[in-house]
Structures are given as C-alpha cells and as structure tokens.
Amino acid sequence: MKERLFSWIDKSVDLAVELETELTKRRGISPDSGGEGEYDKCLFLEKWLISHGITKIKRYDAPDNRAKGGVRPNLIAVIDGEKNEEEGCLWIMSHTDVVPPGDEKLWESDPWTVIRKDDAPGSRLIGRGVEDNQQGLVSSVLAAMAFVSQGIKPARTIKLLFAADEEMGSSYGIGWLVKNHESLFNQKDIVLVPDGGDKNGEKIEIAEKNILWMKFTTYGKQTHGSTPNTGVNAFIAGSELALCLHNELSATYCNHDKMFSPDYSTFQPTKKEANVPNINTIPGEDIFYMDMRILPRYPIKSVLVEISGITAKLEKKYGVKIETSIIQSGESKPTPHDSAVVKAISEAAGEVYKIKTHPVGIGGGTVAAYLRNIGIDSVVWTKTDETMHQPNEYVLLENIIGDAKVMALLALNL
C-alpha cells in the first residue's frame, strides 16, 4: 500500500502547482491587516476538494462582520479510516490566512501570482503564502487524495482542518472552534500542525513558551520643553519602565531549558507609539509594547504580579499613572516526547527524508497550543526552507511531495 500511495504522490506535482497557484490568487488576509478574510479562498478550496474526490466536507463559520461574507470560515474534510472515530482521529491542521506582502518593491514578481523557477535551491514556487501555510495545506491534501484515489483506507480517520485567523491569534480559527465546537475533538485524537520546522525536517516541536504581549501607557503632564519643571515627562518614566521590566523580569525568571532556543525567557520592549509631533513639547503620554516569551515552568499569573509591582514602583517615583493591558496571553502544555504521534512522525520522516529527528520547544505560539491545552497530543512539524513572511517567499516542490509522503505514512501506520 505504501508503494501505491508514494507512486501517486510522486505523480502529483502538477496538482500541487495548480492548487498553490489558485490559493495564492485568493489572498486570505485578515481584516486586522486590511484584508477581507479567507472567504473566497475557503469557498474555492471546498469546491476544488469536492471536484477531486474529497466530498465529506463541513464548514464552521466564525462570525466577523468586518470580513467578506460576515464570517471567517473554517473547513474540515474527512477521509474515513478503518478505526472508529471514538478511538481517535488523525488531524492535520493548516491555516488559510496569510500575511500581507510588505514592501512589494522587494519582490521580484507579483506576490499574488505564483512563479515557478527551476534553479537553486531547487524547483520552487514563489508567492505570498506558498510556504506559510500552503505547503502544509497542499501536502495534507495530496496525502488525503492518495488514499482516496487508490481506494486505500487509512488506519485512523483523517480530518483535514483548514483554519482561519492563525496569523492574528486564531480568535476566529482554532480558538473559536475549541470554544464553540469542542465536541469536534476527542482526547484520543492526535494532531499534526505542518506549520514550522527546519530545512532538514529534523525538528519536531512539542512545546511552546508561554506568550504574553502587553501595552503600557504612561500618563504624566504635558508642558513646554523649556519648562520641564511645570510638567511630568511621561517619556522618561515610560523609558525607565521599559528598562525595569526588561531587566527585572529577566533576573527574576532566569532559569534555562535547553529544549528551547534561546533557552531562557525573553522580555523585550518592541513597538513604540508616537507621543508628541514636535521637539519642544514635553509629552504627557507615552505608549510602548512588550513581547514576552516565558519558559512554561513560569505561570503568566506570576509574571503579571511582578509587572504590577514594577509599575507601582515607577508610578511612585515619577508621579505618573501607568495603565497596562494584555494584547495576547497564552500558556501551553507540552506534548510528551514519547507520545504516539511523536514516534510516528519520527519514523515516517526518517524513512522519507533519511534523517534522525529530535523534539524541540519554540518561542513562537502555534495553533497546537489550543489542542494541547484540552488534552490532545499535538506536534508541529514540516520540512521547510523557512521563507515565511519574507519578500519572495518560496516553497520547494520536493518538500510538498516529501511532506505528503510523511503524512501518508503517518495515516497508514497510526
């Protein structure tokens, strides 16, 4: 059976190019980034799958009146397996949204028109989204189609989830599904998220740092630049606040964990909003943001207590008022390194790519966290050149085909 599946996948390059090309035309940018959402892309994908033999499909629409159609669609396609679904399904979860192209002058071609190049580093497709996350999406579709076209039943039922809103936090994607349709999932399910990895396919992501994004607003008193004594400089207080948060939190949460890179918690001031438009005004308001990636051993609740103490100290020192708000917050349970899905991916990737894999943790948040937190073993894996979010993003066709084989083996053996 494996040989028949692999033979079909090897002959599916033209299908991969077709699907990548059509998906890229339909932009799938979040309304948060100035787009219309994933509606057109999802409708196209649903019709395309049906026309190619994958007919057991259902849509779950998260309401969003900013988006085209008033919804952010999540699509689930099912390929029935030998085992009863109550024994657990294999989910392969990709996302349909993409990030904007950025400065289009940095692109060698139109970001929304797929270009094929047969040169170094290999036969590849160029376009926004072709790797993130259409590589994983297309590979999962090819793996599923191989079973359907060959009349082979996988061991477990395969469920392909094409989720919305991954790039902006998943409030309308897997987060919404877990909150509103948790019964879709079974604690015996296992999940592969093909949305992160490395150039050799050796890393299997099983854990994430806790993530905390916060906004800090400092209120002082605006005045003329020549008479700072009549005001309170919110910029100075805000600047010291940023330094104190970075230094004191780093010192407090100082443990290391070699599973992660970097192997420590990070507390970084990032975005800074404009305060006053002219040089000779002391600002009465100052706003900055922090991106904090915290080792899982440290609860976010503990970090928030420390932040509260630091802000209170600076309020007293400068006579300012400091407001804090959480932009994003999430904790993730790890998937055991000896779980069935980790072992199965390790074996399948080892066979297809002739590599030895190892489990890792990452600093970035992924959709896998939502499922880990409800007790479902989930991993992130793919073989990728990691050009996501860059100008001239590309995907290697050999990675699409190879990953499809890994997914087919996974479905065949689990």
- Tell me the pLDDT tens digit for each residue of 41-99: 999 999 999 999 999 999 999 999 999 999 999 999 999 999 999 999 999 999 999 99
Same domain? For 279 and 183 the reply is no
Both tokens of 344, joined, read: 């199965």
- Tell me the pLDDT tens digit for each residue of 100-123: 999 999 999 999 999 999 987 889
Same domain? For 180 and 243 the reply is no
- Tell me the pLDDT tens digit for each residue of 139-156: 999 999 999 999 999 999
Average pLDDT over residues 216-228: 98
- Does residue 201 form part of some domain? no
Same domain? For 61 and 155 the reply is yes
Same domain? For 68 and 185 the reply is yes
Same domain? For 383 and 254 the reply is no
* Predicted pLDDT at 402: 98
- Tell me the pLDDT tens digit for each residue of 299-318: 999 999 999 999 999 999 99
* Predicted pLDDT at 341: 93
CATH number at residue 384: 3.40.630.10
Sign of the torsion formed by the C-alpha atoms of 35, 37, 43 and 44: positive
- Which one of 38, 46, 165, 166 is the catalytic residue? 166
Of 330, 351, 384, the residue that ends a domain is 330
In whole numbers, what is the pLDDT of the chain averaged over residues?
A: 96
* Predicted pLDDT at 119: 84
Both tokens of 407, joined, read: 């997914």
> Is 65:95 a contact under the CB 8 Å cutoff?
no
- Which one of 20, 38, 64, 97 is the catalytic residue? 97
- The number of helices, as runs of H, and strands, as runs of E, in the chain is 10, 17
- Does residue 154 form part of some domain? yes
Same domain? For 192 and 218 the reply is no
What backbone phi and psi angles, to 5 degrees, belong to 377?
A: -65, 125
Residue ranges in 31-111 assigned as alpha helix (H): 39-51
> Is 285:275 a contact under the CB 8 Å cutoff?
yes
- Does residue 7 form part of some domain? yes
Using the predicted structure, report yes or no on whether residue 138 has a pLDDT greater than 80: yes
Average pLDDT over residues 229-258: 97
* Predicted pLDDT at 244: 98
- Does residue 351 form part of some domain? no
What backbone phi and psi angles, to 5 degrees, belong to 246?
A: -60, -50
Label residue 364 by pLDDT band (50, 70, 90).
confident
Of 281, 306, 330, the residue that ends a domain is 330
* Known catalytic residue at 64: no
Same domain? For 174 and 214 the reply is no
- Does residue 80 form part of some domain? yes
**Structural domain range at position 292:** 210-330
* Known catalytic residue at 166: yes
Same domain? For 156 and 187 the reply is yes
CATH number at residue 269: 3.30.70.360
pLDDT-above-90 percentage for the chain: 94
Of 279, 313, 330, the residue that ends a domain is 330
Average pLDDT over residues 160-169: 95
Average pLDDT over residues 322-334: 92
Same domain? For 184 and 241 the reply is no
CA dihedral of residues 335, 338, 341, 343 (deg, nearest 10): 150
Using the predicted structure, report yes or no on whether residue 189 has a pLDDT greater than 80: yes
- Does residue 162 form part of some domain? yes
- Tell me the pLDDT tens digit for each residue of 197-206: 999 999 999 9
Label residue 414 by pLDDT band (50, 70, 90).
confident
Using the predicted structure, report yes or no on whether residue 365 has a pLDDT greater than 80: no
Number of structural domains the chain divides into: 2
Label residue 363 by pLDDT band (50, 70, 90).
confident
Label residue 332 by pLDDT band (50, 70, 90).
confident
Same domain? For 95 and 152 the reply is yes
* Predicted pLDDT at 366: 82
Same domain? For 166 and 29 the reply is yes
- Does residue 357 form part of some domain? no
Neighbours of 115 (CB within 10 A): 18
Same domain? For 108 and 171 the reply is yes
Average pLDDT over residues 344-373: 93
Average pLDDT over residues 228-238: 98
* Predicted pLDDT at 151: 96
- Does residue 335 form part of some domain? no
